Each structure stands twice: as C-alpha cells, then as structure tokens.
Structure 1
Amino acid sequence: MKLSPENKTIKSMFRSYPIMSIPNFQRDYSWGRDYYGIFLQDAINSLIIGDEEITNTEYFIGTMVFSGSEKKDEYIEVIDGQQRLTVITILLSVITSKFLEIGENELAEATFSYIKTKDDYGRPIPKLKSITSYPYFEAYVQSLEKTTLLPSNEEETNIKETYDYFLLELKEENLRKKYRFNDIAYKDILIAIRDQILIMNVISILTEDKELAYKIFEILNAKGKNLASIDLIKNRIYEIFHADENAKDKTIEKQWEKIKIILRERDQDVGMATFFRHFWLSKYQKTTHVKLYDSFIKHIKINKDSYEKFVEDLHKEAANYMKIVNPNASDYDNRKEYNWLIQSLKSIELTFGVSQARIALLALIDLKSKEKISNQQFKGAVMYIENFIFAYSGLLKNQANIYEARFSKLAINLRKSTTKNNTNKILEQYLYKVFADRFPNKDEFVSTFSKLQYSKSNNATNTITKYALNKIAARQDNRDNYFDDSSIEHIINEDPHNKETLSIGNLICLEIALNCEADNLSFKDKVDIYKKSKYHQVMTFCSEYEDFTEEDIRERATKLGEYYYTEIFKK
C-alpha cells in the first residue's frame, strides 16, 4: 500500500506538488461568507501584531487527500480539500492585485507564482485546476489581467462573491479599522497576511492508489459536516467503479456531470445537495442531512449494477425535478391541456415558495410516466397540494415544518403502486386524510381571506391576493388556467388613506385594455366599461351592483372567501 501522509505547509505543497486538479465529479466550490469570512479572520487573528512589526504563527487547517504521484505525474487529483485550496487561491489572487495597486510589482509577481507558474517552455501552468469552473476560475482568479466574463452558474457566482469579499476586506482602510496595525506600512501588512497563508499547516495524504484515496476520504468525513453527505455518496460510487475494465468509471463520471448540468441549465439553477435530498426523501426514506449517507448505504446494494442503475435513475429524476422547479410549456410539447399543471407548479414554487412539495410531485410525475395514475387522479392530487399550501401557508402563514415528513411518506408509498386503483387508495390514505386535520375550517379561512389587500404600490399581500383573484375569475369561467390579458382592477378607485379601497372585496379581474380605459373614473362610468368585458365574473358583478359602497366591499370580501372555500376547495 503506497501511502505518504506528510505535515506540509501551503507553501511547500504549492511549490513541490504538480498541478492539483479538481475532478469534475467533486463538489462545486460552495463556501459561503460564513466559511471564507472566518477563514480570512482566523488567518489575520493568528498574526502577532506589535508596534512596528508583525510575526507569523503556525496555524493548522486540517487534512487534505490527493491521488497520484508527486514525482511521476503531471497532475494529482484533489480527493478532499478542494474548498480550502480554492479559497486560498482566491485570497492569494486578491493579495496579488493589492500589491499591483500600490506599485509593488515584484511582490505581486512572487505571490502570483503560487497561483500560476511556467513549464520548461515558458507556458503558464495553473497550480490549481478546476474543471467544473473552467474557464471562469482561470480568467477571473488565475489571471493578472481580469476579464469581464460574467458568472454563468452558482459555482462561478460563489467564486466571484468570495473574490469581491476579500477585495473589500483587504482594503487598507478596512484592515486598519478592524485590526490594530497602527503605523505598520500597508505593504508589510499584505506581506504578513500572505505569509500567514503560506505557512498554514496541512496533513497531506498522497497515494497512487485512487481507491484507497476514496476510502481515506470516506473515513475522514463519515462523521463530518452535513454538506459532506452528497460527496461521501458520490465517492462511494466512484470507488467501486475505479479502473473499471469496461471504462464504466468514465460513463458514470459523464452521467454525474450531466445531472449537474440539468440542475443549472434553466433560469433557476438548483444545488446537487438540495435535489439529491428531495429525491431521496421521495423514493427511499425520510432522513436528515447528517444521516443521508448512512441511509444510502442501507438502501442501495454495494455492487456495480445497482450503483449504475442508481445513477441512471438520478439522471432521469433530475430532469423531472427541474420540470417542477422551473416548468416550461415545452416540457409538455406545448400542449394546452397541461397549462393548468405549469400554472400550478409555478404557484407552488414562486408564489408560495414551498420547496418541500417537490418531494411528492416527483413521485406523482414518475407515476404519470409509468401510467400508474390516471389523468384525473394526477390533476386532483396536484391541485389538492396547491390548494392546501395556499390555505395553510400562503394565507394563514403557518409553519412549513409539517410538509417534509408527510410528503415523504406519501411519495414513498406512491412509488410502490402497481395499479391506478392502488394509487387512488394511497392518495386517499396518505394525502387527503393525512392533510385533512390541518386544513383550515371555513370560518377561519373566510375571516383571513376577507382581510386580503392589493395596492398598486408595494403591499405584503399583493402576490397572494392576485393569485386568489385569478383563481376565482378562472373558476367562474370554468377555466383551469388564468386569462392571459387579466389585470387587477380597484372598483372604487384606490385611496392609500382608505384601506377599504385596498380590500379584496373592492377588487376584480379585468382585461388590461378595459382597466386602462376605466382608469380613475367614477363607479357609474366604470360600469359601462365593465359591460364590455368577456369575463363571466365581471358580467355577474354588473348585473348585481347598480351602486357600490364600502359596506358592499366588506360583504363582497366575505362572499369571495366563501365562494373560494366551497367552489375551489370543494369543501
């Protein structure tokens, strides 16, 4: 067994090791300010600051694991340590730029040599190579001349935010304000911070046996941070395929990369850890972040066939997941009969922001693809979930902590269904009955509903109120989806000083063109315009009201709430 653990400094690692390459199956750079901010603070706080000089002290930053040979290989793979190596490279890059700002070109060049060096032919070689963030990382961090390249995904955004944070924190005025550097020259302060980073101590474990490297990583992280779960699972999968005689390790690697691309190719990209946990809760077991890896070991057999099938399944579910998170008409071949579904999914995601619903929706979409649920059952379940979330969370503002366990149990049972009849029984038991105890009663719902308001200026309930009005207008026209040309009209002109005019009882959906025409006219003049509307709700309103008062507003608010409860909720 070829294994060489050594106590090294960052300086000796960056000087002696070949290119340190972060494979594309490793976790993207994901450190937030809580991590990189503390990293910088700890480095500076380790300095002993005197009146005229600064003394560096040793500081241990943990273990790093590499696969490869220091002497024989052109590059070694980073198995554990990519987050720290990335943030160190960013920090050294910022210090380089600070030296350039004050005209210390030689110091800048010396510092930059830990970021990029040159081979025997004078070609630039990065000390740290990141495949997933290339070319952004090299252009923005590992270059003396910064480009205007904009971040295109979450990882690149994190890199930029880290760089910009260090750039601000290492300004001379900010350093002097936060730390007692007194009369010490700014150049010497920067040198001290740089040297403090370079003398940081690491236990570096380098082995030519890649499988052993994965084992070491697993052992070191088995009881580690929550965010390591997905990495432990990924490394467990890669470990079993290492050096596969049929090159399946490359196939798995490409498949994993495709999953990451799927999760970030739409307007709203999603982290791998978030998707994986929702997928796991939807198919296998309700568990915490901490116990996710243990649950994986328990449920997935340790062999190549089961791991290969698992990754294929993960790829398919990732595509379905993004259809839930960011639905498009093209997901359903632009077929109008699915407009209701797109609208419903967008409401759950954007209007209410209840991401836990994805757990149940993943299972429902999977059943739909397998034809184990009828169109009517599918629509009924999705609409019930949307309606419950509106009533429980959107309107009554109850805590969302009830969702995860219930949706997980529903989803896991749905995936076991073999017939449409069996699916119906599962929906009755694990959706409709389980959530019935938390569905608000009519009085509670109507009382809160009647307090909804909408204003042309910002108002806390604008989004929910608009949602409710659109649902009512669509229902009164026997439509599943909203009118495309709808807008919110204040029947009695909005008066910021009179809250009654903001009430939902004073609001109605009206065509945009007619809304503009009605403008701030009197009620009697508006009615003539309302009569041009094709909306059934507006026609009914015109036949019911010859005049409209504040008392009518209060009564109508209650009626709308009652209508919603009986006709939309079907209670």
Structure 2
Amino acid sequence: MTNTLLNTGTASFNDLIANGKTFQVPLYQRDYSWDRDEWEDLWLDILDLPVEKNHYMGYVVFQEQDTKSKFFLIIDGQQRFATLSILCLSAIRLLKEWVENDIDKEQNELRIEKLTEKFLGNFSTSKLTISPKLILNKNNDDFYKSYLLAHRKPPAISKLKPSQKKLWQAYEFFYMKIKEHFLTKSGEALAKFIDEETSNDLIFTTIIVSDDLNAYKVFETLNARGVKLSPADLLKNYLFSKAFASSTSDLEETERRWQSINDFLSKNDLPTFIRHYWNSRNELVRVSNLFRVIKNQIQSPQTVFCLLNELEGLASIYSAFENPADTMWNKEQRNLIRSLNLFGVSTWYSLMLIAKQKLSEQEFTKLLHELNVIIFRYNVISGLHANEIEVIFNKLSLKIFNGDISIAAQAFEQLKEVYVSDENFAQAFSTKLISTKINKNLVKYILVELENSISGTQHQFEDATSTIEHILPENPNSAWETYFQANEQEYYVYLLGNYTLLEESINKKIGDKVFSEKQQFYKKSTFKMSNGELNYTEWTPVVLRNHQDKMARWACNAWKSYYVQNK
C-alpha cells in the first residue's frame, strides 16, 4: 500500500486556522459534546498563558482532501476546534456590542472584520453570510452557521438537540467569561487577547493522512478525541506511524499489543512504565528526553514490534510491583514489595524489572531485601537525594542486563556507595520525625520491624491487633505540661522515639493519661518495646531523645544488608 501518513508536526491554533485552510468534520464523527467542565478547563488554561507562555492542546489528526484548496477533514480534534471557534465568536459578539454602544466604533468594526476573516471565514457581501473555515457534522453545522456565525439567538433553546444546546451554551459561557475579563471595554486588548496571545500560544501536535479508509483506521486506533497527549501518547503515535507505514495489518497488531499493555496499566502509569523499562536496559534517561531518545532508536516496523513485545511481556511484572498481593509473588517477596511501596519511591522499578527477568527467584528475593534496606536507610530515614541513587541503580541494571552480574552479593558491591553506614543511619534515625497524620502506615511498619528485631518475632504491620501508641499523646491534657511545654508538644509527639506498639484493646484504655499512669498498661502488652523497654520513671524530652537513640541502635540491626558484617 502507499504511505498514507503524510507528516506530523507542531502548530499553534493560529498556524492551523488562519492560513487559508478549511476544516470539515466527517460524517462519522460524533456531535459536539463538550460541557462546562471542559470549557472551564480551557478558559483557565488560556488565563494562564501570560505566565506559562504556551499550553499544549494534544494531537489533531487531519485527512488532506485537496492540496491546492487546502481542504482537510478533521479526523480527531473537532471538539477543540469547535470550542476555539466559539471562543472567537464570543469575542466578536462582545466587540459588536461595543460598536452598537459607540465604543471605539470604527476601530472595533475593523477588528471584527479582521478577526472574522482570520479565524472564522470570509464574509460574502452578496449573500451576507460567512463562508466558514470550520464545517461541523450534519447534526451541528446548520445550527453553527445559522445561529453562532450569525450571532442570532435560537427561537426555542429548550427544544434544541442536545449537541446544539451545548454549542449555544458554550457560546454563552465564553461570552460571559470574556465580558467579565474585559471590563475596561478595550477593543485593542480584546483583539490582542484573541489574535496574538490565545491563538499563538495554544499548541497542537498535527498528524496528517491522505487515504480515506486509513484515516478512519487512524481515528479508531488513536481513539483519544480531545484528550491531551502524555509522553505515552507521543510514543504511541510515533509507533503507530511506523507500523502504519508498513501495512494496515501491522497497525492492527500494534493496536492489539498496545491495548494488551494498557490492560495491565492505567494511562497515567504508562509514561513511567516506559521510562522504567527503558532505563532497565539503557543509560539513564529523564522523562523530558524519553520520547526523543526512543524515537532515535526505534525507526522501523521491526524495531517497533520488538519494543512492543518487550513492553507487553513486562507490563504484568510492572503492574505486580504496585500490587504486593499479586499471585506472582511468594510470601517473602510480597512482604518486601509491600514495604518498598510504603517508602514512597519508585527508583527501584527499573532495576527490579531487569532483575526479575535475569536473576533466579532466590537471587531476585535477596536483591529485594537489599533494596529494602538501602532505600529505607537512604531515602526514608536519611532523606538523601533520589538522583544519586537512581544513577547507581541504573548502572547496576545495565550490568545485570548485560549478564555481568547474576547474584545479589555481586549486586551489593555496586550498591555500597549508597548504603548509609550504621553511624550515619543511627544519627539520622535518632532525630527522625514522621507524622502519623501523614504517614501512619510507615510509622507502624517501622515499629513492627523494630519489635521483630528485638524480640525475634515475625509480626506483620498490617496486623489489625497492633496499634500505634503516642506516649506523649497527640492531644495531651494539661498535666503533660509539667513534662513538655505546650509550645513544644506538637514537635515531640511525632518523633519516632515517642511511638510504641500496643494491642488495640489496651490502647483504647490509655487515653491521654500521663506516663506514670500508662506504665501499668504497657506492662500488660505482649510487645517487648512496650513491656520491657519503657522502664522509665517519667517521660520528658531528654528521656524521649535517649529512648530514640536506643531505637536507632535497634534500627541498625533491623535494616542491615546480608553482606555487611557486624562490627
């Protein structure tokens, strides 16, 4: 078949509509469907343009009908084009009102003429109508021409078809917004707002096709009417164009595989998944450069299908990283992945994607443990920058991908430089504050792991019977002011040293009692950190800090690499 994809590019609304082109919505397109939510979003985006400088409107797909006459069918993008045309009409409506009220009449009449010719169409002096640049579908076009382009109010709005009613409501919505925005009644400012700022700063990615049948196929395949592009959309469009250059059947197979990937991941996850996949076997690339790098390396239908095969095969693993309960994991792996997800970082995904592919189950599990320890020490407690650790993980990923490393012990040698030493880890832990208001599960996880370390138990932090006890209560009574000044209580209450574990039944009875009254309840607990490690006569800032120092020493044993010898 001939190459039906002519070109792709980037263009502003001004470039598209004000360049002598005519656009028509095909018969198979749906009616106008945008409502107030979309109008409001667009208006707010337009108001942000002076600060943001431009706003990305997503991709539009056109089928070129006639090169000489510059006539295009809109395969995807009619909702946005119709709405932007209505925005222009609403501005012209306001200018007409100002003309009727003799506000800068001659200049505003000229502005109306120029804006109409540029964005809406040429005015026929014989027919007294506009030959429009935009032709809507059969259900909307007559209404658009007869009422919106003519600035006429329909006789019975309640009897309009739903899509016609939406067109009229959009016209009213933008008229009111523009009127409120230009209370100074400056025609010059309004014309500049439409002609220079808005039309030049709304940016589209354009895809132009020539074949009628395949234009419909592209429309069905891309299937993102009016949706703004993500990096995944950019990649999707590029891959589809490469597959499309080969044959229609290749395009269908591309769509099948892309849909298979989507079945495992949400659209929001796709860009991150693709980046993590890429970084698992290539030098580190940032999100902003992802599309450019992949585009440079994937340039034929064969490389497209190779990439999709790999993405399709790994999507289920990636999805399981976010779901510890997935049947892919054994009990130990499930617990390790659950805690990694608690840490709130995803820098480990690329490394473990390739590790899952290349390492044995036993070595994969060992490496999961090492990452738990390293990330907890480095990110969670020490609060060090993620950039450095991601670079180290990437270097290790490449060694695993190339077959240079096949066991966790070798992997740890590459990770040593981001393994926080016991001394530095204990120092950071001894002053660490984590609020249960923000991260209750993380606090409970830490307490449970500490308890397991000092008592040799194997509690799970999801266990509903164990609860977090704030020794200095979150809402202390006035008696606590003897030990903690009122203005410092909020700080001390969320230090790790102020937490302990208690059974739910015991915790309910304690309330905001002072420490001396709480001790009898602590001794009834089965948790060692409560019944055996809180033998203090009082609970003060000094005692709390000393207790947290002791917890820091526990932590050095609780989160320790298999490959670091005890001193």
Normalised-by-shorter TM-score class: 0.5 to 0.7
The letter of the residue matching 1:404 is E
Q: Which residues of 2 match residues 465-484 of structure 1 at below 5 A? A: 465-475=443-453, 476-479=455-458, 481-484=460-463
Kept after mapping to 2: 8 A contact 1:36/1:87: no
Cα distance change, pair 407–558 in 1 and its aligned pair in 2 (3 A): same
Q: Counterparts in 2 of 1:254-269, with a 5 A limit?
A: 254-264=256-266
Q: Please name the residue that 1:440 is paired with.
A: 420
1:477 and 1:537 in contact (8 A); partners too: no
Please name the residue that 2:399 is paired with: 413
1:471, distance to aligned residue in structure 2 (A) = 2.6
Q: What residue in structure 2 maps to residue 537 of structure 1? A: 529
How big is each residue's C-alpha offset from its partner over 1:110-165, in whole Å with a ceiling of 9 and x where there is no partner?
A: 99x9888342898999xxxxxxxxxxxxxxx977449xxxxxxxxxxxxxxxx9xx
| Structure 2 counterparts to residues 380-399 of structure 1, below 5 A | 380-399=366-385
User: Which has the larger Rg?
Assistant: 2
Distance 1:205 1:42, change over 3 A: farther
The Cα shift of 1:408 comes to 1.7
- Equivalent in the alignment of 2:554: 563
SS for the counterpart of 2:346 is: coil
The answer as to whether partners of 1:262 and 1:318 remain within 8 angstroms in 2 is yes
- Is 1:428 matched with 2:413? no
CA distance in 2, matches of 1:240, 1:189: 43
User: 1:514 is paired with a residue of what secondary structure?
Assistant: helix
1:292 and 1:87 mapped to 2: Cα distance?
A: 27
For residues 309 and 193 of structure 1, what CA distance do their matches in structure 2 show?
A: 46
Q: Percent identity?
A: 19
2:138 aligns with: 119
**Map of 1:469-508 to 2, 5 A cutoff?**
469-475=447-453, 476-479=455-458, 481-485=460-464, 486-494=466-474, 495=476, 496-499=486-489, 500=492, 502-508=494-500
Mapped partners of 1:203, 1:118: distance in 2: 23
Return the alpha-carbon distance in structure 2 between the equivalents of residues 202 and 490 of structure 1: 54
Q: Is residue 336 of structure 2 the alignment partner of residue 341 of structure 1?
A: yes
Instruction: Tell me which residue corresponds to 2:181.
Output: 174
SS state at 1:489 partner = strand
TM norm structure 1: 0.63
After superposition, what is the alpha-carbon deviation per residue over 1:29-59, rounded to whole angstroms, capped at 9, x for unaligned?
Answer: 9xx99994488559999xxxxxxxxxxxxxx
Q: In structure 2, what residue type is equivalent to 1:398?
A: L
Do the aligned residues in 1 keep the contact of 2:506 with 2:521 (CA within 8 Å)?
yes
Partner SS, residue 468 of structure 2: strand
For the pair 1:400 / 2:396, whether they are aligned, the reply is: no
What is the Cα deviation at residue 246 of structure 1? 7.3
Q: Return the alpha-carbon distance in structure 1 between the equivalents of residues 414 and 543 of structure 2.
A: 38
Match of 2:250 in 1: 248
Q: CA deviation at 1:280?
A: 0.5
What amino acid is aligned across from residue 17 of structure 2 in structure 1? T
User: Judging changes above 3 Å, is the alpha-carbon distance between structure 1 residues 90 and 260 closer, same or farther for their aligned structure 2 residues?
Assistant: farther
2:543 and 2:51 map into 1 onto residues whose CA distance is 64
Q: 1:171 to 1:365 in 2, by over 3 A?
A: farther
Structure 2 residue matching 1:332: 3-state secondary structure: coil
Which residue of 274, 277, 292 maps to 1:276?
274
User: How has the CA–CA distance of structure 1 residues 399 and 72 changed in structure 2, closer, same or farther, with 3 Å as cutoff?
Assistant: closer
Counterpart of 1:317 in structure 2 is 314
Q: CA deviation at 1:277?
A: 1.8
CA distance in 1, matches of 2:393, 2:28: 43
Q: Distance in 2 between matches of 1:532 and 1:317?
A: 49
Q: For the residues of structure 1 that align with 2:417 and 2:495, how far apart are their CA atoms?
A: 29
| Distance in structure 1 (CA, Å) of the matches to 2:442 and 2:259 | 38
Structure number with greater CO (CA < 8 Å, separation at least 6) is 2
On the 8 A contact 1:8/1:204 being kept in 2, the answer is no
What do you get for the CA RMSD once the two structures are aligned? 5.6
User: Residue 509 of structure 1: SS of its match in structure 2?
Assistant: strand
| Structure-1 separation of matches of 2:52 and 2:391 | 42
Map residues 134-283 of structure 1 onto 2, 5 A cutoff: 144-145=165-166, 170-176=177-183, 181-182=185-186, 193=194, 208=210, 233-242=235-244, 247-264=249-266, 270-283=268-281
The answer to whether residue 305 in structure 2 is matched with residue 308 in structure 1 is: yes
User: Structure 1 pair 251/93, CA: closer, same or farther in 2 (3 Å)?
Assistant: farther
Is the contact between residue 469 and residue 508 of structure 1 (CA under 8 Å) also seen in structure 2?
A: yes
Q: What are the ranges of 5 or more consecutive residues in structure 2 without an aligned counterpart?
A: 31-37, 98-111, 113-119, 122-131, 145-161, 216-228, 477-485
8 Å CA contact 1:453–1:462 kept in 2: the answer is no
How much has 1:497 moved relative to structure 2?
Answer: 3.6
* Cα separation, partners in 2 of 1:68 and 1:311, compared to 1, 3 Å: farther
CA contact (8 A) 2:429 2:552 kept: yes
Count of residues in Structure 1 that have an aligned counterpart in Structure 2 = 463
Aligned to 1:9: 17
State which drifts further: 290-299 or 561-570. 290-299
Shift of 1:332: 1.9
Tell me how far apart the structure 2 counterparts of residues 553 and 509 of structure 1 sit (CA, whole Å).
Answer: 15
Candidates 346, 354, 357, aligned match of 1:355: 346
